[in-house]
């Protein structure tokens, strides 16, 4: 009679690891497709940034805020307007840890209700790469969670989608800056005369008044992307994330709006806020007197002569989410 092999200790551990991994696995709640175009009359474009959780290390070692409850309030306000929204744009940092199934599962709870109703278009952020210091990673590597939900996304490769007479352009502010700058310049030159304006989305802003450690304007973006934005022969409006708060900066005719108050721990703003045209409320922090910007997202709507940006949000002590500021950009 042939003996039945019994798993040894290494085999038993391997089996247990497989079972544990299967229990921890998370099936993506949606699989987005890249639309050929967006319908101009489908409603506003919602833009939100930095949906990541705050890691335990950041909360303890750097004493940063945990905004799970505040993020839930903000997303609930956005969902109340879901019937009036035609597309959702996320300007990077969809998750904190791109290798974590738990973090992608949290992302799904926030975004899946929108993905069922409308296109969801991401600009990748530094936290969305499987290696946090992306400059030391192979730029061809993309996190499994990102690939599963946005199968058409290619790292370092920009893309564009039209919406009526607006052109929406998406860049990767983590790598291949020179190539993307050349692509952007060519795309904007061809857009002049065909579109009323270009809306450009990427994660790291070129300019900021934040004094948070390491949160400053991207030098690479300033060198390779900004000159192409300034040289465009049509109006250009830029939307960024990364700096956890809100800023509206106008430089050399280009409008830069940083909407990164979607959940990541916020950082303090400088006392002198150069070029910043935001006129909404700030959020004083008890104890140290630093000023933070509200949790926020924006809604974009267009009229024949302007683009209107409605900034919605709240400070931690506010009773409700409300309109913080409204910006009209002539077209």
Predicted pLDDT at 269: 86
User: Considering the chain, what percentage of its residues have pLDDT values greater than 70?
Assistant: 85
Mean pLDDT of the chain: 87
Enumerate helices (H) and strands (E) in the chain, giving the number of each: 8, 15
Predicted pLDDT at 284: 77
Predicted pLDDT at 132: 58
In a domain, 142, yes or no: yes
In a domain, 32, yes or no: no
CATH (domain of 79): 3.60.21.10
* pLDDT tens digits, one per residue of 266-290: 988 887 888 999 999 999 776 666 7
In a domain, 83, yes or no: yes
In a domain, 235, yes or no: no
Residue scoring higher pLDDT (138 or 187): 187
Residue 184: half-sphere exposure toward Cβ, Cα within 13 Å: 32
What phi-psi label fits residue 158: left (phi over 0), alpha (psi between -120 and 50 degrees) or beta? beta
Domain count, the chain: 1
Report, as an integer, the average pLDDT of 4-12: 39
| CB neighbour class for 191 (10 Å; exposed up to 12, middle 13-18, buried from 19) | buried
In a domain, 230, yes or no: no
Predicted pLDDT at 59: 67
pLDDT over threshold 80, residue 56: no
Predicted pLDDT at 64: 76
Predicted pLDDT at 212: 72
* pLDDT tens digits, one per residue of 12-35: 333 333 333 333 567 999 999 999
Predicted pLDDT at 15: 31
Provide the domain limits for residue 58.
43-157+203-212+240-330
Tell me the pairing of strands 306-314 and 85-90: unpaired
Predicted pLDDT at 229: 98
* pLDDT tens digits, one per residue of 190-243: 999 999 999 999 999 999 998 875 556 789 999 999 999 999 999 999 999 999
What are the CB-based long-range contacts (under 8 Å, 24+) for 314-323? 314/70, 314/73, 314/74, 315/281, 315/282, 315/283, 316/70, 316/283, 318/294, 321/73, 321/74, 321/77
Predicted TM-score of the model (pTM): 0.89
Predicted pLDDT at 276: 94
SS3 (DSSP) at 298: strand
DSSP 8-state secondary structure symbol assigned to residue 65: -
In a domain, 108, yes or no: yes
Predicted pLDDT at 66: 86
In a domain, 207, yes or no: yes
pLDDT grade for 142, boundaries at 50, 70 and 90: confident
């Amino acid at each position: 009679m042939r003996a039945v092999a019994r798993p040894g200790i290494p085999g038993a551990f391997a089996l247990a690891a497989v079972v544990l991994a299967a229990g921890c696995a998370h099936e993506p709640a949606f699989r987005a497709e890249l639309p050929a175009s967006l319908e101009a009359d489908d409603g506003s474009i919602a833009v939100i940034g930095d949906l990541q959780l705050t890691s335990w290390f950041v909360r303890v070692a750097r004493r940063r805020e945990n905004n799970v409850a505040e993020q839930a309030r903000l997303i609930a306000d956005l969902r109340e307007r879901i019937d009036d929204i035609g597309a959702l744009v996320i300007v990077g940092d969809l998750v904190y840890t791109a290798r974590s199934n738990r973090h992608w599962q949290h992302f799904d709870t926030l975004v899946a209700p929108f993905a069922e109703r409308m296109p969801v278009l991401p600009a990748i952020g530094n936290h969305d790469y499987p290696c946090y210091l992306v400059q030391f990673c192979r730029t061809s590597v993309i996190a499994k969670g990102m690939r599963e939900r946005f199968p058409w996304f290619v790292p370092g490769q920009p893309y564009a989608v039209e919406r009526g007479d607006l052109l929406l352009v998406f860049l990767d502010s983590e790598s291949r800056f020179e190539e993307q700058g050349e692509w952007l310049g060519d795309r904007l030159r061809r857009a002049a005369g065909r579109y009323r304006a270009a809306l450009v989305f990427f994660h790291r802003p070129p300019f900021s008044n934040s004094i948070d450690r390491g949160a400053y304007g991207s030098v690479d973006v300033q060198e390779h992307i900004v000159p192409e934005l300034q040289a465009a022969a049509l109006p250009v409006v830029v939307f960024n994330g990364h700096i956890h708060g809100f800023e509206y900066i106008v430089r050399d005719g280009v409008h830069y709006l940083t909407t990164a108050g979607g959940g990541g721990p916020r950082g303090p703003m400088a006392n002198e806020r150069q070029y910043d045209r935001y006129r909404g409320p700030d959020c004083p922090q008890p104890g140290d007197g630093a000023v933070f910007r509200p949790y926020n997202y924006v809604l974009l709507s267009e009229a024949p002569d302007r683009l209107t940006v409605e900034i919605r949000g709240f400070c931690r002590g506010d009773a409700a989410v409300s309109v913080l500021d409204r910006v009209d950009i002539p077209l």
